[in-house]
Amino acid sequence: MYKRPFIALMYHYKMQLAISMLLCIMLVVFILASPDTFLSWSIYESFLSTIPFFAIPAIGMTLVVVCGEMDMCFPSTIAMSGFVFSWLWTATGNSALSIIGALVAGTAIGWTNGLIVVKIGVPSIIATIGTQFFWRGLIMILCSGLAIDLSGIQDSPLHHVFAGRLAGHISSQALWAIGIAVMVGFLLNRHVYGDALRFTGDNTETALKMGVPVGLVRISAFSLMGFFCAISGIIACIEMGSWWPTQGEGYLLLVFASVFIGGTSVFGGEGSVYGTCVGAIIIGIVEAGIISAGLSGFWTRTVYGIIIVVSASLYVVMAKSGRR
C-alpha cells in the first residue's frame, strides 16, 4: 500500500482537529444560548434519527469528490431507490427482495453516471444534472405524482433493523451511518483503493503512469455513491412509513455542505470521512441551534453560508502553510 507523505498526514490530522474544534465551539455557543434545549438528551436523540439520512449520501459523495468528480444526481437516486423498495414491498411483501431491488437500482444509477462520465467524456457535473432530471421525471411518470403508503412496515422486523431504537433511545439509522463511516474510512485510509482514489483525483496522468485503472476507479466511486443513496432511501421509507415523489430533494445543500465543511478538497485528491461526518453533525444541529436561540429559521441558510466559507478558507490557509 502507498504510504502517504508525512506532510500530507500532518495536514490531514490538522484538518480533523480544526473541524472538531468548530463543532465544539458551536455546541458551547448553542448550550450558552439555550441550555434547556442543548443540555437535554431529547435533542440529541432527534439528531441521531435525522442526520443519518443525509450523512450516509455525504459519505459516498466524499469518495466521488476525492477522485475529482461531482454527483448532482444523488437526490433522484435516493428517490428512485426508495420507489423501487416501496413498490416491491407493497407488491410482494418480501423484505429481502425489496432491499436487494433498491440496492441494485441505486448502484445501477451510479454505474450509469460513471459510464457517461468516463466512457463518453461528459463532465460529471453536467452529466449528473441531466440524469437527475431524467430520473426525477421518470419517477413522476411511474407514480403519477402520488406517494406510496407502506402501512404495516413500521410493525415489521424490517423497521427494528433499519429504523428501530436501541435501548429505546439510540436510532438504528445512526448505527448504520456509523458502520458505513467506519467501512468507508477503512477503504479511504487503509486500503489500496483509497490510494487509487486520491491518485486519480490529484493527477490523472500520473495515476495512469503508476498503473491505476483510472476509469474503473471513477466508475466505482459513482457506483458506491448510488449504493449508499439506496441505503438512505430505504431507511427513509421505513422510518417514515411511506415513500413520496420528492424524496431526497432537500439533501443537495446538506450533503455538499457536509463534505466541504469536513475538509474534502473540491479539487480532488484529498478527503476525510471523519471530517464529512463531523460536517454532517454541524449542518444537522445548526437549524435547531438557531431556533432554540430565539432567531428565525430564515437565518439558517445564512449561517450555512458563513460556516462553509469560513471552514473552506481555513483549510486553504492550512494547506498553504503546510507547503512552506
- For position 100, which CATH number holds? 1.10.3470
1, part of any domain: no
pLDDT value of position 8: 60
Tell me if 123 is assigned to some domain: yes
Which pLDDT score is estimated for 152? 83
Cβ neighbours around 146 below 10 Å, total: 10
Q: At 265, is the pLDDT very low, low, confident or very high (cuts 50, 70, 90)?
A: confident
In this predicted structure, the answer to whether residue 126 has a pLDDT above a threshold of 50 is: yes
- For the residues 299-314, what does the mean pLDDT come to? 79
301 in any annotated domain: yes
Q: Would residue 151 count as lying in a domain?
A: yes
Q: How high is the pLDDT of residue 6?
A: 52
- Which residues, in sequence order, are bridge partners of residue 307? none
Domain-located, residue 78: yes
Q: What is the CA radius of gyration of the chain?
A: 20
Helices (H), the chain: 6-33, 35-38, 41-50, 52-66, 74-92, 95-115, 124-143, 157-163, 172-190, 192-202, 204-209, 214-240, 251-261, 273-292, 299-323
> pLDDT tier at 1 (50, 70, 90 boundaries)?
very low
More confident residue, 190 or 13: 190
Per-residue pLDDT tens digits for 204-247: 998 999 899 999 999 999 999 999 999 999 999 999 999 999 99
By residue range, what is the domain housing residue 162? 6-323
Residue 177 lies in a domain: yes
Looking at residue 290, what is its pLDDT? 83
pLDDT digits (tens, 9 = 90+) for 74-96: 999 999 999 999 999 999 989 99
**Rounded average pLDDT over 97-126:** 97
Can you name the residues that pair with 272 across neighbouring β-strands?
A: none
Residue at 132 is within a domain = yes
Q: How confident is the model at residue 322 (pLDDT cuts 50, 70, 90)?
A: low
Specify the pTM. Answer: 0.91
d(CA 219, CA 116): 9
What's the average model confidence in pLDDT over 138-145? Answer: 94
Per-residue pLDDT tens digits for 10-60: 666 777 888 899 899 989 988 998 888 888 888 899 899 999 999 999 999
pLDDT higher than 80, residue 167: no
Q: What is the mean pLDDT of residues 111-124?
A: 97
> What is the total count of domains within the chain?
1
What pLDDT is recorded for position 86?
A: 96
- Going by pLDDT thresholds of 50, 70 and 90, the confidence category of residue 320 is low
